[in-house]
C-alpha cells in the first residue's frame, strides 16, 4: 500500500481527497440534541370540575407566495366548553399578546389554567409573563399523548372551519374577523349553541367510560355547577349572564349571526 502511495504525486493526492467517496468516509454525524424549554410544565391539566382551565390552539387560513394568511386563535374551557375565538394577522409575540388579553377577558369566570401544544407562538417569554401577571398556570402537551389537546382541536373543525372554511384569507382582514367573532359568533356559541357534554363513569377494574348524551349550552353547564357564583370574575353576576342569554332566542341568535357572516365574506370577496 505504501509502495503505491510513494508513486503518486502530492498534487494527485489532493485531487483524490476532494472526491465524493473520500469525503463520505470521513464524515462524522452528530445527532441534534433537543433544547429543553423551561416555559410551561408538560402534563395534562386537572381541573377537578372547576371552570377556568383553557385549551388553546391556532388555525391557519393558508399562505400565498405574495402574502400571509390570517391566523385564528381558539380557546375552550375544559369543563363548560365555553369557547372564545379570536384572529390575528401574525402569531409573533407582539401581535399575540393583545389578542390573548382580549380573548381572556371574554370568559365570564377567572382563568386558572392555560394549556397548549408546544408551538413557539404560545411557549415564549411574552406569553409566560402575561400569564404570570394574571396568576394563570401554564402547561403544555406531553410527547406521544395526542389527546392532551384533543378538545380544542375538535372545536377547530366543528366551529372555526365550519364557519370560516379552508380557503385563503389575507392577514389584513384579521380585525374584521375579530369583530365578527366578538360581536356575533362567540355569544352565539356560549349562550345559544348546545354542545355534547361528557359524562364520565368509572366501571369495573377502574376503567373510565365517557358518554356524550347530554346536550347543553356552555352557560347551562356553568349554571349546573356547584355554587357557580364562586367562579365568576369580579363584578359579574349570574343574573347578568342569564339576561344576556334570554335577550334573544336561540333561533334568532343563529339568524342574526348568519347575515353578519355573509357581510364579512362579502367584504372579503370585494377586497380580494
The residues near 187 (Cβ < 8 Å, ≥ 6 apart) are: 244, 253
Give the dihedral sign, CA 38/42/47/48.
negative
Residue 36 near residue 143, CB atoms below 8 Å: no
Q: What is the mean pLDDT of residues 74-79?
A: 95
Mean pLDDT of the chain: 88
Predicted confidence at residue 13, as pLDDT, reads: 76
DSSP 34: P
Does 251 reside within a domain? yes
Q: Is residue 97 part of a domain?
A: yes
Tally the domains of the chain. Answer: 1
Query: For residue 244, what is the domain's CATH number?
Result: 3.30.420.10
Q: Going along 104-185, which residue ranges are E strands?
A: 113-116, 137-140
pLDDT category of residue 1 using cuts at 50, 70 and 90: low
**What is the domain range of residue 184?**
52-270
Specify if 12 maps to a domain.
Answer: no
pLDDT in tens, 223-264: 999 999 999 999 999 999 999 999 999 999 999 999 999 999
79 domain residue, yes or no: yes
Query: What is the pLDDT at residue 116?
Result: 92
Task: Indicate if the alpha-carbon torsion angle 186, 187, 190, 196 is positive or negative.
Answer: negative
pLDDT at 188 over 80: yes
Tell me the percentage of the chain whose pLDDT exceeds 70.
Answer: 93
Note whether residue 21 is domain-resident: no
CB count in 10 Å sphere of residue 89: 18
Burial of 35 (0-12, 13-18, 19+ CB in 10 A): exposed
The pLDDT, as a whole number, for residue 54 is 95
Share of the chain above pLDDT 90, in %: 57
Residue 233 lies in a domain: yes
Q: Which pLDDT does position 142 carry in this prediction?
A: 85
210 φ, ψ (degrees, to nearest 5): -115, 130
What's residue 46's pLDDT? 86
Q: How far apart are CA 51 and CA 236, in angstroms?
A: 15
Distance between CA atoms of 179 and 167, rounded to whole angstroms? 19
With bands split at pLDDT 50, 70 and 90, how would you rate the model's confidence at 62?
A: confident
Mean pLDDT over residues 18-29, rounded? 70
- Tell me the pTM: 0.82
74: left (phi over 0), alpha (psi -120 to 50) or beta: beta
Higher pLDDT, 67 or 177: 177
C-alpha distances in angstroms, 116 versus 19, 63, 109, 123, 125?
Answer: 49, 23, 19, 8, 15
* Alpha carbon distance 204, 120 (integer Å): 41
Q: In the prediction, which pLDDT does 34 show?
A: 59
Residue 18 domain-assigned (yes or no): no
Q: Is residue 164 predicted with pLDDT exceeding 90?
A: yes
pLDDT in tens, 114-158: 999 888 888 888 888 989 998 899 999 888 877 788 889 999 999
Contact present, 102 and 85 (Cβ < 8 Å): no
Across 7-21, 112-126, 166-180, which has the greatest mean pLDDT?
A: 166-180
Cα separation, 229 vs 225, in Å, equals 9
Instruction: Report which of residues 205 and 230 the model is more confident about.
Output: 230
CB distance 73 to 99 below 8 Å: yes
3-state secondary structure of 49: coil
Residue 138 lies in a domain: yes
Structure confidence at residue 270 (pLDDT): 85
pLDDT at 122: 87
Amino acid at each position: 500500500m505504501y509502495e503505491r502511495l510513494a508513486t503518486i504525486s502530492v498534487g494527485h493526492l489532493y485531487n483524490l481527497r476532494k472526491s465524493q467517496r473520500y469525503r463520505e468516509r470521513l464524515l462524522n454525524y452528530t445527532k441534534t440534541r433537543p433544547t429543553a424549554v423551561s416555559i410551561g410544565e408538560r402534563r395534562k391539566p386537572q381541573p377537578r370540575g372547576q371552570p377556568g382551565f383553557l385549551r388553546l390552539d391556532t388555525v391557519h387560513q393558508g399562505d400565498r407566495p405574495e402574502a400571509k394568511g390570517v391566523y385564528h386563535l381558539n380557546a375552550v374551557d375544559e369543563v363548560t366548553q365555553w369557547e372564545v375565538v379570536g384572529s390575528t394577522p401574525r402569531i409573533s409575540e407582539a401581535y399575540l399578546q393583545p389578542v390573548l388579553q382580549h380573548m381572556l377577558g371574554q370568559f365570564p369566570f377567572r382563568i386558572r389554567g392555560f394549556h397548549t401544544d408546544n408551538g413557539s407562538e404560545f411557549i415564549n417569554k411574552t406569553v409566560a409573563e402575561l400569564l404570570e401577571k394574571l396568576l394563570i398556570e401554564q402547561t403544555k402537551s406531553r410527547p406521544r399523548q395526542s389527546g392532551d389537546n384533543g378538545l380544542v382541536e375538535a372545536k377547530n373543525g366543528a366551529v372555526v372551519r365550519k364557519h370560516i372554511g379552508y380557503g385563503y384569507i389575507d392577514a389584513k382582514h384579521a380585525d374584521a374577523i375579530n369583530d365578527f367573532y366578538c360581536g356575533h359568533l362567540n355569544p352565539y356559541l356560549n349562550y345559544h349553541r348546545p354542545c355534547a357534554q361528557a359524562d364520565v363513569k368509572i366501571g369495573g377494574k377502574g376503567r373510565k367510560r365517557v358518554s356524550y348524551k347530554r346536550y347543553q349550552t356552555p352557560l347551562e353547564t356553568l349554571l349546573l355547577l356547584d355554587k357557580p357564583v364562586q367562579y365568576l370574575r369580579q363584578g359579574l353576576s349570574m343574573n347578568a349572564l342569564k339576561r344576556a342569554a334570554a335577550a334573544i332566542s336561540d333561533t334568532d341568535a343563529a339568524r342574526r349571526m348568519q347575515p353578519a357572516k355573509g357581510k364579512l365574506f362579502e367584504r372579503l370577496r370585494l377586497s380580494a
